[in-house]
């Protein structure tokens, strides 16, 4: 199959049934046959078969139709335009003798802008070869033999299936029924292809992640680890294109194998792809790399940690490790408190009570009381006019509290803090009020102010409701 102007062309054949090979056209836009293609078109005589359907171009390099080269006693190549009308067949394919298999071509635009198709062929006395048709001149490719054989590869027995073009080097990589991978120079047909190349896409902004301005400019592209004596720099070339595919004018190679990129604006071209195509004086022992540099601040790595929804998670700490050419390294540790969300708001309760025992020994810290919300009449007299208070602060969770303070409305000695309470913990405060000089009952109230753990600085304190207990005199019964 081949796709031309959004239309899908497909070939088919059934030589066993002595049917003519055909070429059909399907239009995905209408989910039906292409206009002018109500039925398929024949591409050769009955009994022929085909392994290909490939794009035809006009002399301006525009795709205008499809071709199919068929194999049989007589090889026939037939081409049709998008509307189903006939097109001239490539002469290099039309002139093939019978019995030669033809496979889909690789299409390459040469340095002069000519559109070329390299068709793979074998059988019929051909052990493996390529045919090159120049659509721009509508003739065989200039400077190339026809067919192009590969005598240095597997004794010439390559039985070619097809080729893939490698843009950085400018070489064609071939493979065939012989199972041998080989290279071919598309300009000369020579095997191996004595070229090399590299391609690097550089986006300086991707080295940073904080949104700041860190890039000063591009500096150079350079060859590293390359024996410069093996490179024909006069025949080699370097191409720079930006993020939109537009070619960016740059100088060629300097004698040291570098290319000056200081004239390329990072603002105008935030991404560039540098492609070097190197013509070699010798392929022996050739190696190396292409490096593209820019001037900027040290690179940044940004990542994020997703914190568990468990309210017990109150902080996260992270340390980065890595290796480079000097060995291993470790960063500083960054710790961050995790502020509780709405679902992690602590529930704090306060219980204010008065001791109702007639024994002061049972009314202090750890005393068994009993404790109640109101002391009975006459009790204070038994306790030397002293009311013994107990304040219980309980954090029912789900997170801890800090900066907790007990606030008492009557008795200063009851006020306690600051202190912390983890989820599920309680704290008791004991205090007393001595020598009640009036005959009126006294009601004592307490509350707690606090902060949930890890709240941001400046967060306003939370406050519990008041809890009260009453010390009675004779008037409590009135």
Reported as a single tens digit per residue, the pLDDT across 385-399 is 778 899 999 999 888
* pLDDT value at residue 101: 98
Fold classification of 2-194 (topology level): Methylamine Dehydrogenase; Chain H (2.130.10)
Note if the pTM is more than 0.75: no
Among 448, 394, 457, residue whose Cα is nearest residue 421: 394
φ, ψ for residue 285, nearest 5 deg:
65, 25
Residues 140-190: pLDDT tens digits? 999 999 899 999 999 999 999 999 999 888 899 999 999 999 999 999 999
Phi/psi region, residue 125 (left: phi>0; alpha: psi -120 to 50; beta: rest), is: left
Q: How confident is the model at residue 435 (pLDDT cuts 50, 70, 90)?
A: low
Q: How confident is the model at residue 438 (pLDDT cuts 50, 70, 90)?
A: low
**Is-contact 363 469, C-beta < 8 A?**
no
| Mean pLDDT in residue range 74-99 | 97
**Is-contact 342 401, C-beta < 8 A?**
no
Q: How confident is the model at residue 378 (pLDDT cuts 50, 70, 90)?
A: low
| Mean pLDDT in residue range 370-379 | 79
Greatest Cα pair distance, the chain, in angstroms, is: 131
* pLDDT value at residue 384: 64
- Which residue spans of the chain are classified as CATH 2.130.10.10? 2-194
Least confident of 25-29, 202-206, 358-362, 447-451: 358-362
Contacts of 176 (CB under 8 A, 6+ apart): 120, 122, 128, 158, 159, 160, 161
* pLDDT value at residue 379: 62
Residues 277-293: pLDDT tens digits? 898 888 777 888 999 99
| Mean pLDDT in residue range 206-235 | 92
The overall average pLDDT reported for the chain is 91
| Mean pLDDT in residue range 345-355 | 93
* 9 pLDDT higher than 50: yes
* pLDDT value at residue 474: 56
What is d(CA 109, CA 243) in angstroms, rounded to the nearest whole number?
A: 21
* pLDDT value at residue 440: 56
* pLDDT value at residue 155: 96
| Residue pointed to by tokens 């560039």 | 272
Least confident of 164-173, 407-416, 432-441: 432-441
Least confident of 15-29, 180-194, 424-438: 424-438
What is d(CA 461, CA 404) in angstroms, rounded to the nearest whole number?
A: 9
Residue 6 CA, distance from chain mean position: 30
Share of the chain above pLDDT 70, in %: 95
Residues 295-311: pLDDT tens digits? 999 999 888 888 887 77
Q: How confident is the model at residue 478 (pLDDT cuts 50, 70, 90)?
A: very low
- Which residue spans of the chain are classified as CATH 2.60.40.10? 342-477
| Mean pLDDT in residue range 83-95 | 96
Domain 342-477: assigned CATH number: 2.60.40.10
**Is-contact 14 43, C-beta < 8 A?**
no
What is d(CA 130, CA 144) in angstroms, rounded to the nearest whole number?
A: 10
Q: In which order are the strands placed within the sheet that holds 371-372? A: 371-372, 348-355, 386-395, 426-434
């Amino acid at each position: 199959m081949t796709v031309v102007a959004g239309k899908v062309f497909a070939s088919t054949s059934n030589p066993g049934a002595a049917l003519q090979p055909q070429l059909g056209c399907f239009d995905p836009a209408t989910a039906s046959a292409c206009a002018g293609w109500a039925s398929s078109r024949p591409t050769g005589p009955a009994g022929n078969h085909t392994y290909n359907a490939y794009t035809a171009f006009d002399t301006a390099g525009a795709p205008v139709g499809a071709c199919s080269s068929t194999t049989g006693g007589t090889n026939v190549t037939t081409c049709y335009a998008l509307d189903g009308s006939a097109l001239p067949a490539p002469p290099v394919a039309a002139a093939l003798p019978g019995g030669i298999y033809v496979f889909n071509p690789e299409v390459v635009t040469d340095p002069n802008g000519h559109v070329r198709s390299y068709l793979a062929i074998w059988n019929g006395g051909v052990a493996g070869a390529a045919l090159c048709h120049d659509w721009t001149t509508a003739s065989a490719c200039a400077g190339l033999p026809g067919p192009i054989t590969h005598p240095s590869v597997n004794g010439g027995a390559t039985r070619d299936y097809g080729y893939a073009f490698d843009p950085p080097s400018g070489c064609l990589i071939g493979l065939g029924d012989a199972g041998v991978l080989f290279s071919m120079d598309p300009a000369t047909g020579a095997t191996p292809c004595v070229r090399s190349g590299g391609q690097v896409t550089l986006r300086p902004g991707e080295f940073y992640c904080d949104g700041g301005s860190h890039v000063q400019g591009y500096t150079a592209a350079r060859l590293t680890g390359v024996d410069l004596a093996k490179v024909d720099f006069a025949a080699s070339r370097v191409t720079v294109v930006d993020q939109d595919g537009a070619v960016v004018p740059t100088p060629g190679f300097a004698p040291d194998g570098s290319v000056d990129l200081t004239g390329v604006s990072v603002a105008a071209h935030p991404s560039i792809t540098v492609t070097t195509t190197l013509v070699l004086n010798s392929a022996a022992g050739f190696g190396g790399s292409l490096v593209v540099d820019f001037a900027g601040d040290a690179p940044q790595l940004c990542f994020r940690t997703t914190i568990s929804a468990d309210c017990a998670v109150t902080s996260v700490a992270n340390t980065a490790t890595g290796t480079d050419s000097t060995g291993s390294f470790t960063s500083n540790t960054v710790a961050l408190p995790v502020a509780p969300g709405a679902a992690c708001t602590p529930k704090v309760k306060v219980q204010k009570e008065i001791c109702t025992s007639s024994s002061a020994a049972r009314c202090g810290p750890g005393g068994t009381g009993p404790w109640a919300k109101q002391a009975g009449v006459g009790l204070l007299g038994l306790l030397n006019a002293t009311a013994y208070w107990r304040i219980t602060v309980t954090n029912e969770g789900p997170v801890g509290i800090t900066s907790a303070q007990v606030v008492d409305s009557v008795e200063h000695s009851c006020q306690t803090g600051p202190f912390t309470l983890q989820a599920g913990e309680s704290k008791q405060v004991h205090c007393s009020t001595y020598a009640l000089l009036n005959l009126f009952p006294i009601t004592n109230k307490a509350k707690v102010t606090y902060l949930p753990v890890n709240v941001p600085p400046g967060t306003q304190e939370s406050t519990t409701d008041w809890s009260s207990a009453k010390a009675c005199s004779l008037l409590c019964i009135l």
